[in-house]
Amino acid sequence: MYLFGWETLVNNYRFNVSTNGINYNSPKVQEFICKNKKHVSIGITIDGTKRKHDLNRIWKGTNKERGSYDDVVKNIPLWLEQIPNAETKVTISSADIPYIKESVLHLYSLGIHEVNINCVFEDVWKEGDDRLFEEQLMELADAIIDGGYYNDYVCSFFTEHIGKPMDCQMDNQNWCGAGKMLAVDAEGNFYPCMRFAKYSLRSKDALIIGNVRDGIDKNKLRPFLTLDRCTQSTQECIDCEVASGCAWCQGENYDAADTPTIYQRSTAICKMHKARVRANNYYWNKLYRKLEKEGEREAFENNKPKSNAPKC
């Protein structure tokens, strides 16, 4: 009995793997998946249409740089066959805004039922981006509602419980899992999350909290375990009337801060969050009007698809 319990404990682990999907169908990768299928969750990042995906995800070091869309999309059917409820992660920056609607619908057409999508947290946003962003989201809302996609598909941009005032007692947790979702690099160094590795940072030094030989330095980890919303936010953010659901990246907070601190919240995403809230209100108002008119609201409430993805 003791041995059985010990084996159960030892085998009770899970790795989350994010990949660009280039080599997903290769023999070595497939052998790894087959061997570890009970312990791995794999997400392939495909950013949408070929036009959108190839803006940022390109092959380097060749005579002529080219996008990677064609190399990734051919592996999507195998991925979905092996992981039927798989979801993808899409990132939006200033140049991507015009392609949001078509990209989400394209991902649905590939058989991906859950699209987790967010704006980058870095300070890349230009004048007028929030207006264009809101327009794209409203067009996407129309397409999802008019096309009936809301019954079987999820887009994380549309979430009912955002855009409300924040309660510093009830809604004061840290946004992401930095410090609680260990990341490890090829050299065996541990990070609070992958955004604290040197390759993810612009100006700050990597923040290493241990390694596979010596374990975790709990003194370096301790500040992450005390993070919450109010201790990082300005009073303007705390008092914002649409504060709930306004996200941040702990790594970007660190990278953008004036000093080597993790307690200075980056607010570059502010206007994009407010635009999202406006479009989100439009989506839910339109959807519930339609459902009430058709007498289907109660059925939808009882069966609506829910996102299974973590915040970060």
Q: Give the pLDDT band of residue 66 (cuts 50, 70, 90).
A: confident
> Which pLDDT belongs to residue 181?
85
Q: What is the average pLDDT value for the chain, to the nearest integer?
A: 90
Is 90 exceeded by the pLDDT of residue 28?
A: yes
Is 90 exceeded by the pLDDT of residue 171?
A: no
> Which pLDDT belongs to residue 309?
54
> Which pLDDT belongs to residue 308?
59
Residue 114 tokens, joined: 């859950």
Q: Give the pLDDT band of residue 291 (cuts 50, 70, 90).
A: very high
Is 80 exceeded by the pLDDT of residue 12?
A: no
pLDDT tens sequence across 196-243:
999 999 999 999 999 999 999 999 999 999 999 999 999 999 999 999
Residue 127 tokens, joined: 């004048």
210 forms beta bridges with 190, 216
Mean pLDDT of 259-270: 95
> Which pLDDT belongs to residue 15?
80
Mean pLDDT of 299-307: 78
Is 90 exceeded by the pLDDT of residue 157?
A: yes
CB 179 within 8 A of CB 305: no
pLDDT tens sequence across 71-119:
999 999 999 999 888 899 899 999 999 999 999 999 999 999 999 999 9
> Which pLDDT belongs to residue 250?
96
Is 60 exceeded by the pLDDT of residue 6?
A: no
The more confident residue out of 176 and 304 is 176
> Which pLDDT belongs to residue 63?
64
CB 115 within 8 A of CB 88: yes
Residue 293's contacts (CB-CB under 8 Å, 6 or more residues apart) are none
The more confident residue out of 254 and 64 is 254
pTM for the model stands at 0.88
Is 70 exceeded by the pLDDT of residue 10?
A: no
Is 70 exceeded by the pLDDT of residue 312?
A: no
> Which pLDDT belongs to residue 280?
97
**Rounded Cα–Cα distance for residues 142 and 189 (Å):** 46
State the number of CA atoms in the 13 A half-sphere of 145 facing the CB. Answer: 19
Is 60 exceeded by the pLDDT of residue 70?
A: yes
Cα 149 from chain centre: 21
- Strands 40-44 vs 15-19: parallel, antiparallel or unpaired: parallel
CB 297 within 8 A of CB 288: yes
The more confident residue out of 5 and 308 is 308
